[in-house]
Amino acid sequence: MADAHKNFAYSTVLTAPSPASSGTSLVVQSGDGTKFPAVSFNATVWPAGAQPLTTNAEIVRVTAISTDTFTITRTQESTSARSIIVGDQIAQTITVATLEQYIPLIPTTDNSTDIGSSSKEFHDLYMGDAIQFNNSGHVINNTATRLDLGFNSDTGAGFEIYRYNDGSRAGEFRVVYGGAIAQGNVFFYQYDGTNFNSVVTLNGSGRLGIVAGAATNSTNAKIGGTIFDHLVDAGNVTTGETDLYSDSIPASTLSADGDKITAEYGGIFVAHATATRDIKCYFGGTVVLDTGALSTATAESWDIKVTLIREGSTVVRSVASVVSSTSVGGAAFNDVVFTRITGLTLSNANTLKITGTAAGVGAATNDIVAKLGMVQWKPNA
C-alpha cells in the first residue's frame, strides 16, 4: 500500500535522538506531530539554514508517532546516517521511493525498435514487471504469468492484450484489435501452442460471432438470440379476428441483407362440430400464413414456424409452416407458404403477429388459444 501524504509536513527537531547518529526516537516542535501523515512514511532530516544534500541529509522512515515523538528507522533509501541535533529540519519530502510508488509505468529499459520501414517505434512499458508494450508482443523476460499489451507478429494485430502463461505460450488468452486476422475487429482467442482457437469476434458493425478452429478460418458464425418470449395463454375473443401474440420488431433489426427473424408459436383448438378456426400470421401488415377455416371436431394442437430473411432495404422473404394434429375428417393438416414481401421500411419498426378467428355456428371466445411462442433475431453470415 502506498504511503500517506500531507502538504507542508514540516517541523524542526526539539529533542534529538540518542545517540545522535543511531538513535531511533526524536521529538519535533510541540503540536507539530499532527502536521505529518499517518505512519508509515519516509522523511528527510537536514541541518538548519541549509538545503538537503547527499552530504548533509538522511532519509528516515517514521514508523510510529506519539503526539510529537517519532519512532524512526535510520538510513533509508541508501542514505548515510547523520548526527541529528536540536534545530535540524525534518519534512516529508519527495524521494525516489515516493515516485516509484505512484509512477510504476516508467520503462526500466529502452527496447524501441522500428516497425518495418516506418520511423515509428513501440517502447516497452513496465508496471512492476507485469505489463509491457513491445514491438513483437512477446515478453522480454520469461516471467511465468503476465499480462502483455502490444503489437504481435503472430496475428498482425494492431493492438492486443493477453495473458502470457509460460514460455511455451500454451494456454494464452488474447484480446486483439485489428490486424491481418480481424481487420477492424476485436477478437478473443486461446492459443494452444500451435493454433489460435475458439475465436470470438466483435466486428466493426457490432456483430458478435464465433470462429471454430484456427483463427485464420474465414467462416464466422455470428451470434443472435431471443428478442421476445410468450408464455401466457392468449385466446380469440368471440367471432372477430383477435391478435394472439403481437411483437413490434424494433427499427433496423433487419439492418443488413441476410439478417433474419425466426418465430415459433404453439397452441390448441377447442373441439366443435360446426364452428371453424382460422389462424393467420402477419409481418409488416402482409399475411405470410393463413390456415383458412378449419373444422375441428376434436380438440387439436397446432404449431407454426416462420422465417423472415432480409433481401434488401424494402424486401423480406418469408417461409411459414403450420402443423396440426388432425383437421377435417381426422386427417393431419400441414401447410408451407413462401411469400416475398415488398414495399417495407425496415428502418422503422414492423409488427410480427399471429391472429385467431373463430366463426360459424357455436363459435366462442377461447376456441383458439396460443400457449407459447418466441421470436429470435439472427445476423447475416
Structural domain that includes position 237: 226-378
Tell me which of 147 and 193 has the higher pLDDT: 193
E strand map for 142-275: 146-152, 157-164, 172-177, 186-191, 196-202, 208-211, 221-222, 225-230, 234-235, 242-249, 260-269
> How far is Cα 181 from Cα 153, in angstroms, rounded to an integer?
11
pTM for the whole structure: 0.55
231 and 364 in a single domain? The answer is yes
Q: Are residues 299 and 184 in the same domain?
A: no
Predicted pLDDT of residue 211: 64
pLDDT above 50: residue 3: yes
Q: What is the pLDDT of residue 190?
A: 60
For 120, counting Cβ atoms within 10 Å of its Cβ (0-12 exposed, 13-18 middle, 19+ buried), the class is exposed
For residue 65, pLDDT beyond 80 = yes
Please identify, among 222, 248, 276, the residue that sits at the C-terminal boundary of a domain: 222
Domains held by the chain: number: 3
Grid cell 360459424 is found at 360
Does the pLDDT value for residue 118 go beyond 90?
A: no
Greatest extent of the chain over all pairs of C-alpha atoms, in Å: 115
- The three grid cell numbers given for residue 78, joined into one nine-digit string: 541508501
Q: Which residue has the higher pLDDT, 255 or 103?
A: 255
AA letter at 109: T
Q: Could you tell me if 361 and 276 are in contact, meaning their C-beta atoms sit under 8 angstroms apart? A: no
- Indicate the range of 104-118, 236-250, 335-349 predicted with least confidence: 104-118
Residues 196 and 293 in one domain: no
Least confident of 67-81, 210-224, 254-268, 298-312: 210-224
What is the model's pLDDT at position 105? 47
The pLDDT confidence band at residue 113, using thresholds 50, 70 and 90, is very low
pLDDT at position 103 over 70: no
Task: Assess whether pLDDT exceeds 90 at residue 215.
Answer: no
Final residue of a domain: which of 185, 201, 222? 222
Of 78, 101, 124, the residue at which a domain comes to its end is 101
3 domain-assigned: no
Is the domain of 288 the same as that of 365?
A: yes
User: Looking at residue 78, what DSSP letter applies?
Assistant: T
Binned at pLDDT 50, 70 and 90, residue 261 comes out as very high
In the predicted model, is pLDDT for residue 56 greater than 50? yes
Which stretch, 88-102, 110-124, 143-157, has highest mean pLDDT?
88-102
Q: Is the pLDDT of residue 19 over 50?
A: yes
**Is residue 33 predicted with pLDDT exceeding 80?**
yes
Classify residue 186 by burial, with Cβ atoms within 10 Å: 0-12, 13-18, 19+: middle
pLDDT of residue 142: 39
Residues 261, 370 within the same domain: yes
Average of per-residue pLDDT across 336-350: 96
> In this predicted structure, what is the pLDDT of residue 212?
57
**Residue 10 confidence class, pLDDT cut points 50, 70, 90:** very high
Say yes or no: 68 and 179 in one domain.
Answer: no
Chain mean pLDDT for the chain? 80
Share of the chain above pLDDT 90, in %: 58
**Range with top average pLDDT, 76-85, 106-115, 192-201, 222-231:** 76-85
Q: Indicate if 73 and 121 belong to the same structural domain.
A: no
Q: What is the pLDDT of residue 123?
A: 38
126 found inside a domain: yes
50 with 131, same domain: the answer is no
Inform me whether the pLDDT recorded for 213 exceeds 70: no
pLDDT band at 199 (very low <50, low <70, confident <90, very high): low
SS3 readout for 91-117? ECCCCHHHHHHHCCCCCCCCCCEECCC
Provide the pLDDT confidence category of residue 237 given band limits of 50, 70 and 90.
very high
Please give the residue that has the higher pLDDT: either 99 or 284: 284
Dihedral angle sign, alpha carbons of residues 271, 231, 357, 237:
positive
Residues 266 and 326 in one domain: yes
The answer on 119 and 18 residing in a single domain is: no
Q: Note whether residue 106 is domain-resident.
A: no
Q: What local confidence, expressed as pLDDT, does residue 87 receive? A: 97
Residue 349 lies in a domain: yes
Phi-psi region of 288 (alpha: psi -120 to 50; beta: other; left: phi over 0): alpha
Instruction: Say whether pLDDT at 371 is over 60.
Output: yes
On whether both 199 and 234 belong to a single domain, the answer is no
Tens digit of each residue's pLDDT (9 = 90 or more) over 123-181:
333 333 334 444 444 443 434 444 444 444 444 444 555 554 444 544 445 555 544 44
- The reported pLDDT for the residue numbered 101 is 79
Contacts of 119 (CB under 8 A, 6+ apart): none
Residue with the bigger pLDDT between 213 and 292: it is 292
107 within a domain of the structure (yes/no):
no
